[in-house]
Amino acid sequence: MKLADLDVNKIYTYADYFKWQFEERVELILGKIFEMSAPNRMHQALLGYIHGELYIFLKNHPCNFYVAPFDVRFPRKSKDDKDIITVLQPDICVVCDHSKLDDRGCIGAPDIVVEILSPGNNAKEMRNKYDVYEQGGVTEYWIVSPQNETFLIYTLIDGKYQPSRLMVAGDVVTSSVLPGFSLDLDALFKSLNK
């Protein structure tokens, strides 16, 4: 089977998604297929840097973090594969509730999701994933733009996201989910020029 063989107008479930064996990486958002773009060098440089900082901080911490490809399933009616119509692969996610983890990934909202924007997927990240993460209960949604060298955190407060100010090089990111964690954006964005 190839991605091109699928009917783009059909609503798919995680049961369908789990059977697919094609080369392209995809996500399901409300049953619709979204092809994931291949990450570029800048994306991977930022991913590697954030990964390293989280690794050091979480080494002796009860929370775990995972890097894509890692399926995060957002159940609606039930946790049955046939009822799940949203499966995302955040660039990085932090999960503190181990009961949400299974051999196939995470079922339910991670505590933190990090998405690093790529030129081909900004609209999807900003519009579709924002809604899924907010409604799904992701406590912090971090959006990193390599092109603009900006960092934005949406924090879930009373079921709605509240944005931080737009942070840039010289700012330091902290997290309400991970007290004591800090990410120096000057160092983060300098990693793009190594």
Residue 194 has, within 13 A of its CA and on its CB side, a CA count of 13
Range of lowest pLDDT (16-25, 76-85, 90-99): 16-25
- Which residue shows structure tokens 């809604």? 131
pLDDT at position 125: 62
The CATH classification of domain 37-193, taken from the options 3.10.129.10, 3.90.1570.10, 3.20.20.330, 3.40.50.1220: 3.90.1570.10
* pLDDT attached to residue 115: 95
Beta bridge partners of 167: 151
Contact 175, 112 (CB under 8 A): yes
Going by C-alpha positions, the residue among 30, 29, 47 that lies closest to residue 38 is 47
DSSP 165: P
Rg over alpha carbons for the chain, rounded to the nearest Å, is 17
Summarize pLDDT for 135-155 with one digit per residue, the tens: 999 999 999 999 999 999 999
CA dist 35 and 132 (Å) reads: 17
Task: List beta partners, residue 173.
Answer: 183
Contact 57, 178 (CB under 8 A): yes
Arithmetic mean of pLDDT, 26-34: 92
| Tokens 């979204």 -> residue | 34
